[in-house]
Amino acid sequence: MTSNLVSGATGDWEVVIGLEVHAQVSSNAKLFSGASATFGADPNQNVSLVDAAMPGMLPVINHECVRQAVRTGLGLKAEINLVSVFDRKNYFYADLPQGYQISQFKQPIVGEGTLRIDLPDGSSRNIGIERLHLEQDAGKSMHDQHPSKSYIDLNRTGVALMEIVSRPDMRSSIEAAAYVRKLRSILRYLGTCDGNMEEGSLRADVNVSVRRPGEALGTRTETKNLNSLRFIQQAIDFEVTRQIEIIEDGGEIDQETRLFDTTTGATRTMRSKEDAHDYRYFPDPDLLPLVIPQDEVNELAAALPELPDQIKDRLIGDYGLSAYDAAVITEERETALFYEAASAGHDRKLVANWMTVELFGALNKSGQTLTECNITPERLGGLVGLISDGTISGKIAKDVFAVMFETGGDAASIVEEKGLKQVSDSGAIEALIDAVIAENEDKVLEYRAGKDKLFGFFVGQVMKQSGGQANPGMVNQILRTKLDG
């Protein structure tokens, strides 16, 4: 593995990164009210009396959100706390109607776990998960709708979030991105969060510090609310450079909360440690401790789908795929399922190759998704089957694939219809070769005199005569016998 150290003017620095990811729970209703949790409604349409914190309103837990948190905990191989407690985090803001956020402070629903990240060089590494807790989202303040007033949209108020806190185990922005990518992948496999970063379903706060290798942790900053992998990497890289410069210039890092500017790629101070809120956490007296029966945990564990790491290991171990191909194929559940179906009964490695190169390439170009495009698992499998059994060559297969992608249809009928079948009849090939030799007597003499390079010329001529359909292996073999004869 390559070194993650960053060299500054005065020597090497080690970067230490921890992430807090807020993942919106996939659920029909909010965490403590029956209001809809769907995205995209007109302002203040999905607001119940509880969400608006009307006098005398009380929260009642949405048990489906609890089950989603437990599923996620199980997916992170984490400890499930059968008893957890909801606390109030008190602060005033216009889009926080209760004047407190219901969260879990001392006793979260999920304890320690691990996440295996897949790095670009094909290696993997385990990152510690410290905890996962359930909490309410806040509303949205809009400051640009009126010259002197702010508008408040409470649709998101009270929507269930899972805050997933990592250990400070990451050492580069690439690892941090890999962490979020893998976390997102697991959440989507589990169906516990749609992972849609553009809509804000998944956002990350990054804690960054630098230190000399082997020394104690440096002072960290927290940059809030990053909603794309690119922004996460940019914010970390900016912080690392900024912090190293400050320290190398003899300064000190302030422990503070920072904001990321998506247009400049820079971070800036949001509030310093002195201005930090005193949230006055205490157990919410409107809610009893959350108790989950072990039986329910067992039932959820038994119903868990196969997760990307398991599938990846299987693809490498049983099918012999490369770590890279296996990681690419298993990032999305749809892709993994597509691959499993397409490769069943066919050359597994060859199917993986066709998927990651031809299919993904075509999708990239067309902007379609896997489910939208004309290629079904059966059709891709069929195409690879024709290559494997010698019906068509790899080269012809590319043309067939292009037709399949464009117009639909299965490989066998396209090959049949267009007469693209590979010629493997040795008599037919011999006849073609004899004709080519007869037409190029001078070249035959040159070849026999030692101009080996001309062999490629003869192959090309034969293939051309056959319209690309002659079995290239047989052409090679027969041609060599005849020329070297």
Q: Which residues bind another protein (CB under 8 A)?
A: 49, 52-61, 88, 90, 92-94, 97-100, 150, 152, 278, 280-282, 285-288
Query: Mapped to the 3 state alphabet, what secondary structure does 115-153 carry?
Result: EEEECCCCCEEEEEEEEEEEEECCCEEECCCCCCCCEEE
Cβ 66 to another protein shortest distance, Å:
13
Report the DSSP pairing between strands 140-142 and 151-153: antiparallel
69 token code pair: 């948190």
Task: In whole angstroms, give the CA distance from residue 406 to residue 156.
Answer: 42
Residue at 87: amino acid letter: D
In the complex, what is the shortest distance from the CB of residue 84 to another protein, in angstroms, rounded to a whole number? 14
Q: In angstroms, what is the minimal distance from the CB of 89 to another protein? A: 10
Look up residue 433 and give its two tokens.
Answer: 């070769």
SS3 percent helix, strand, coil of the chain, rounded to 5, is 40, 20, 40
Q: How far is the CB of 402 from another protein (least distance, A)?
A: 59
Written as one string, the DSSP assignment of 386-444 is: HHHTTSS-HHHHHHHHHHHHHH---HHHHHHHHT-PPB--HHHHHHHHHHHHHHTHHHH
Q: Which residues pair with 215 in a beta bridge?
A: none
Cβ-based nearer residue to another protein, 285 or 427: 285
Minimum CB separation from another protein for residue 308, in Å?
37
Nearer to another protein, 97 or 113 (CB): 97
Among residues 278 and 295, whose Cβ is nearest to another protein? Answer: 278
In angstroms, give the least distance from the CB of 223 to another protein.
24
At closest approach, how far in Å is the CB of 274 from another protein? 13
Whose tokens are 């996962």? That residue is 132
Residue among 92 and 364 whose Cβ is closer to another protein: 92
Nearer to another protein, 230 or 277 (CB): 277
Q: Which residues contact 444 (CB under 8 A, 6 or more apart)?
A: 437, 483
In sequence order, the 6+-apart residues with CB closer than 8 A to the CB of 218 are 16, 209, 210, 211, 243, 247, 253
Find the shortest distance in angstroms from Cβ 258 to another protein: 22
- Comparing CB distances to another protein, the nearer of 62 and 227 is 62
Separation of alpha carbons 244 and 229, rounded Å: 23
- The bridge status of strand 11-24 relative to strand 160-166 is antiparallel
Query: What is the Rg, in whole angstroms, of the alpha carbon atoms belonging to the chain?
Result: 30
Q: Which lies closer to another protein via its Cβ, residue 120 or residue 289?
A: 289
Nearer to another protein, 16 or 29 (CB): 29
